[in-house]
Amino acid sequence: MTKPLNVGMIGYGFMGRTHSNAYRKAPNFFDLPYKPVLKTICGLEEKEAKAFADRWGYESYVTDWRKVIDDKSIDVVDICVPNNYHAEIAIAAAEAGKMIICEKPLARTAAEAEPMVQAVEKAGVANLVSFNYRRVPAVTLAKKLIDEGRLGKIFHYRANFLQDWTISSQVPQGGMATWRLDVKAAGSGVTGDLLAHCIDTAMWHNGPISAVCGMTETFVKQRMHAETGKVEPVGIDDACTFFCRFDNGSLGNFESTRYARGHKALYTFEINGENASIAWDLHDLHRLSYFDHRDDSIVRGWRSVHVTDGDMPYMGKWWVPGLQIGYEHSFVHQVADFLENAAKGQPTSPTFREALATQKVCDAVLASAKAGKWETIKY
């Protein structure tokens, strides 16, 4: 039987929209044990919160997140606010016994994330961190191919996440649209914002990372702060490149920047194994490139697999073979998996504990860049 599940969404920005859309769509396409009810939206500006509630069909709106936590009718708290608020909200939500979906990165640092993990585990509440790219069908298919052993021993994992939106020194730091450039709100720059995605996917595909050696740069050293109006030093990393070793003996090579002119959100990865290789590109997210050395030499080459058949991950729930889906659907899959598992009392990956591991890698990358030496990671 389908039970109503009351959702309290905190944040009505970019992620507030993707998550609200996911709660609305998921029960139309997946057979879920719960019917999400958009109960309350919370954001800083009352006028905007009201407009969001009207547009998306929330029953009520508030401007203080504590009201969402105190509301006994709310079953799941969904955290879509800047990183500096994740810990306080998540710990309060866990103590109130709510299920929690929290946007990535889990927190600004591993030290800030640890008590979040303890709080959800102590309360025994369902928890998930929104590393949504795992649930792009082609990325999920890559995991299946690796787990089936098709690649054989893996030698290399390389990933990039390239953007170009902060090249101008006129872009301010802090405030509503540009909190990502303010180290106090974001915790770090591209490492926590973009490489965290690559690291999460990489460790899911290829196992734990044991040691890292990183290099960061802040190209624009001072920016006007949108809240104070003063020109202040920039504390985030604008670009980060790191090498790593995985526990399975493979080598990793990761790069992220917001200074790659011409690239808006170019997340790519390539994995090379002894028998086969896989490559993926967010700009062409419904395709998976696959090369298998065991093919006859006269037809051997890179295949571009159109990930739309019903036997491919998640695709049986959508349209018909040949018709692709896109970015928003990764969030629909996330909600569907979370609700299905929560009803069975099972965890959904990546949990807060798994996201803490990603946080530890991010911290180690930044520490390595600062110290100019390799850092090993203790989980």
Ligand X SMILES: NC(=O)c1ccc[n+]([C@@H]2O[C@H](COP(=O)([O-])OP(=O)(O)OC[C@H]3O[C@@H](n4cnc5c(N)ncnc54)[C@H](O)[C@@H]3O)[C@@H](O)[C@H]2O)c1
d(CA 56, CA 299): 50
Amino acid type, 370: K
d(CA 160, CA 322): 28
Q: Which stretch binds ligand X (CB under 6 A): 11-19, 284-292, 313-321, 359-367?
A: 11-19
Under rule CB under 6 A, residue 56 binds ligand X: no
x-or-dash string of contact with ligand X, 146-185, rule CB under 6 A: ------------------------------x---------
Instruction: Rule CB under 6 A: choose which of 9, 10, 117, 145 binds ligand X.
Output: 10
Q: Which stretch binds ligand X (CB under 6 A): 81-89, 119-127, 257-265, 352-360?
A: 81-89
Q: Which stretch binds ligand X (CB under 6 A): 4-12, 157-165, 266-274, 368-376?
A: 4-12
Under rule CB under 6 A, residue 65 binds ligand X: yes
Neighbours of 227 (CB within 10 A): 15
x-or-dash string of contact with ligand X, 105-144, rule CB under 6 A: -------------------------x-x------------
Q: Which stretch binds ligand X (CB under 6 A): 5-13, 156-164, 266-274, 310-318?
A: 5-13
Under rule CB under 6 A, residue 263 binds ligand X: no
CB nearer to ligand X: give 184 or 245: 184
Instruction: Give me the helices (H) in the chain, please.
Output: 14-29, 46-56, 65-70, 86-95, 110-123, 137-147, 183-186, 190, 196-206, 328-343, 352-371
Are the beta carbons of 159 and 269 closer than 8 angstroms? yes
Under rule CB under 6 A, residue 82 binds ligand X: yes
d(CA 100, CA 353): 13
The CA-based angle 183-188-194, given to 5 degrees, is 135
If you search the block for the tokens 């792009």, which residue do you land on?
136
Touching ligand X, residues 313-352 (CB under 6 A): none
Under rule CB under 6 A, residue 12 binds ligand X: yes
Under rule CB under 6 A, residue 19 binds ligand X: no
Under rule CB under 6 A, residue 41 binds ligand X: no
- Least CB distance from residue 315 to ligand X, whole Å? 21
Distances (CA, A) of 18 to 10, 11, 33, 212, 327: 13, 11, 21, 33, 9
Radius of gyration of the chain (CA): 21
Instruction: Rule CB under 6 A: choose which of 8, 16, 172, 350 binds ligand X.
Output: 16
Are the beta carbons of 194 and 161 closer than 8 angstroms? yes
Q: Which residue is nearest to ligand X (CB)?
A: 13
Can you say how many angstroms the Cα of residue 48 is from the centroid of all Cα atoms in its chain? Answer: 25
Check residue 237 and give left, alpha or beta (phi > 0: left; psi -120 to 50: alpha). beta
CB nearer to ligand X: give 56 or 243: 56
CB nearer to ligand X: give 38 or 154: 38
